[in-house]
Structure 1
Amino acid sequence: MNGPSAATNSPSTATNSQSPATNGSTIRELHGMEDFDAVSDLYAEIWGSEPGTSPLSAEAMRALSHAGNYVAGAYEDGRLVGASVAFFGEPIGTTLHSHITGAVMGRGVGLALKTHQRQWALARGLRRITWTYDPLVRRNAYFNLVKLGARPEAYLTSFYGAMDDAINGGDESDRMLAAWDLTAPTPPEVIELPAGAAHGLRDRGGRPETGASDADTVLVDIPDDIEALRRTDPGAARAWRLAVRQTLGGLLAEGARVVGFHERRRYVVQRTITPA
C-alpha cells in the first residue's frame, strides 16, 4: 500500500534521526505513541477512512519501530505533513519493504520522505526497497517508474482483498510490486519508443480498447483519473481494472518486463527475446 509519495537518487549513504529536506520540511524517525497517533490520524485523513479505521494503527507502528524498522514523519513548522512506514523484507539483509507512505500533495513532501528512506536503507547495508501501488493511478506510476527509477516485478491480483476507504472503495485492490535498486542510476525521464511498438491497450474516449499484444514492445494505457472514474462511472473503472489486469498482468506473467512509462500515461512493456 502506498499513498502519494516520491523519491530521489541521492548518493548519500548516511542518515540522521532528524534531517532537513530539500523542500524545507524536516524528516525524523518516530518512536513515541503521541507521534504514532498523529500519523495514524493523518493516514485516515489522506485515505478518507472511517473514524477508527486508519490504514495503519499507532500500535502497529509502535511495534515496528521498537523492532528496529523504519517509521518516519515529515514536519513543516512543527506540523505533521507526511509519514512513511517500512519493514525489513526478503531477501533478508538486502531489502526494505515500504508498506505505506502518505503525504500532502504538491509540496515535495513525498519526495523528501523517500529520500530519507533511501538514506536510512543504505546506511544499513540494504540495496533495494520494494512496495506495492495501484497500477491504474497515473501519478504514482509516473513517480515510481520515472522520477524514482523503480521497476515492476509482479502484478498482484486483489492483493489486499476488499477495501472500503475513499480512495480504493468500490474497486478491487490489484497492485504492482515495484522494486527500487538503490545502487542503480535513475533512468532518463524521456523514453524513446522502438519501431514496431504496438498498443496492447489503448484509451479510446475514456474506455479501454484492447489491441494486439504480441509485439516485442507493447504499450499499455491507463485512464486519466481512475479515482474520479470510480465515483462518476464505476462501470468504466471496472472495465479498466479488468483490461489492465488481463493485458499488463498477462504480459508480466509471461515473463515480459516494464521498461518505462511513456508520456505520463502508458506502460512500456518489453518482451523477453530468446536468442535463436
Structure 2
Amino acid sequence: MGGMTRQSSEEAAAKAGVVIRELHEIDEFRAVYRLFDHIWHPDPHNAPVSVELMIGFAHTGNYVAGAFDGSTLVGASVGFLAAGRTLHSHVTGAAQTARGIGYALKLHQRDWCRERGLKRITWTFDPLVRRNARFNLVKLGAMPEAYLEDFYGAMADAINEGDVSDRLLAVWQVTPEDHGPDEAPVEALPVLLASEGERPVIRGVHGDRLLVGTPRDIEALRRTDPAAAKEWRTAVRTTLGGLMSGGARVVGFTGRGEYVIAVN
C-alpha cells in the first residue's frame, strides 16, 4: 500500500505550526532529553537516548533534529547511520501527537537522507499499538520486514512497563516506487486473529492472504486489564511473528486495525 508521502517537509511543518532544524548545542540536546522524559516518563536508568549520545551523534554526522513552536521544542528525532546506506531512526517523539509534528519530522528526516544519498530509513515499533501501525504503514508507506521478539528487553517507562518489548522493524524507502494503495477488498479476507470483547481469538483459517488484528488501545488495556494485554502479546507473537518467521510478508493495514499478510 502506498503512503501519503508526496507532501513536502516544509508544507508538513507549516501545517503543524513548527520549524524543524538539526540540533548542535548542548542546551538543545538537554531540551530533547526533557521532552522525551515528559513523553515516556522512563526510569532514570532507561532513558530513550542520553545527552552524551546526542552530542556524539550530531558531532559525527548523524541525525538529531528538533521541531520548534517559536522557541519551544515540541518534537525531536534522533537517528544514526547504519549498514546498507540506511538511517536507523532510534527515537522520535512529539509533545502533541494530533498536530502532525511527528509526520513533519519524518518528512524532514526523509529529505535529510535524500540529500546524503541514503536509500532507506528503518525504525522499530510495537505491533500492538494500532495508531503507530496505521501511521507507519498507511500514512508513510513504510513496511515491516522482521518481527523482533523482546528486542529491547525489559523497558521501565510509563508506556511499556509490565510488557515484553516485541517490535516490528519498519523499512521506509527514501525514494519509494510510485504505486497506490491496494484496492482489493482486504476487509473480506480470512481473519486469523480477531478481537472479541477486547480479548484476542485465534481462528483456524487459511489462505494466501490473512488478517491479523490488533487491540483497540493496548496502552489503556495494560492499565485496565493486564491479563488481556498479555494475551494480545502472545497471540500477535504467535500469529504475526510466526507467519513472518516463515517467510510471510506484511503488505498493508486495514481500516479496522488489522495487518494484511501475504502468505505466499
TM-score range, shorter chain: over 0.9
Question: Quick check: 47-56 or 175-184, which moved more?
Answer: 47-56
TM-score by length of 1: 0.88
Q: Which residue of 1 aligns with 2:151?
A: 159
Q: Which runs of 5+ in 2 are unaligned?
A: none
Matching residue of 1:142: 134
Once the two structures are TM-superposed, the CA of residue 9 in structure 1 deviates from its matched residue by 1.9
Q: CA deviation at 1:229?
A: 0.5
Task: Report whether the alignment pairs 1:47 with 2:43.
Answer: no
Decide whether the 8 Å contact of 2:4 with 2:138 is kept in 1: no
The equivalent position to 1:98 in structure 2, one of 61, 66, 89, is 89
Structure 2 equivalent of residue 70 of structure 1: 63
**Which residue of 1 is the match for residue 220 of structure 2?**
228
* Preserved contact between residue 149 and residue 187 of structure 1 (Cα < 8 Å): no
Counterpart Cα distance in 2 of 1:195 and 1:238 = 26
3-state secondary structure, aligned to 2:212: strand
Decide whether the 8 Å contact of 2:127 with 2:166 is kept in 1: yes
Distance 2:22 2:256 in 1: 32
Does 2:105 correspond to 1:113?
A: yes
- Structure 1 residue 30: deviation in Å? 0.4
Equivalent residue runs for 1:1-276 within 5 Å:
9-10=5-6, 21-50=14-43, 53-91=46-84, 94-104=85-95, 105-185=97-177, 188=180, 191-193=183-185, 197-272=189-264
CA displacement, residues 220-267 of structure 1 (integer Å, 9 cap, x when unaligned)? 000000000101100000000000000000000111101100014100
Cα displacement (A) at 1:192:
2.6
- C-alpha contact 1:198 1:212 (8 A) present in aligned 2: no
Number of residue pairs aligned between Structure 1 and Structure 2: 260
- TM-score w.r.t. the length of structure 2 is 0.92
Distance in 2 between residues matched to 1:162 and 1:180, nearest whole Å = 27
For 2:7 and 2:115, locate their aligned partners in 1 and report how far apart those are by CA, in whole Å.
Answer: 11
Q: Give 1:22 shift.
A: 3.6
Instruction: Indicate if the aligned counterparts of 1:71 and 1:85 stay in contact, CA closer than 8 A.
Output: yes
Distance 1:44 1:129 in 2: 24
Note if contact 1:161-1:173 (Cα within 8 Å) is conserved in structure 2: yes
CA drift of 1:194 comes to 5.2
- Relative to its length, the structure with more helix (as a share) is 2
Q: In 2, Cα distance between the equivalents of 1:191 and 1:236?
A: 33
Amino acid at match of 1:116: H
Tell me the distance in 2 between the aligned counterparts of 1:8 and 1:184: 11
- Aligned-pair CA distance for 1:214: 2.9
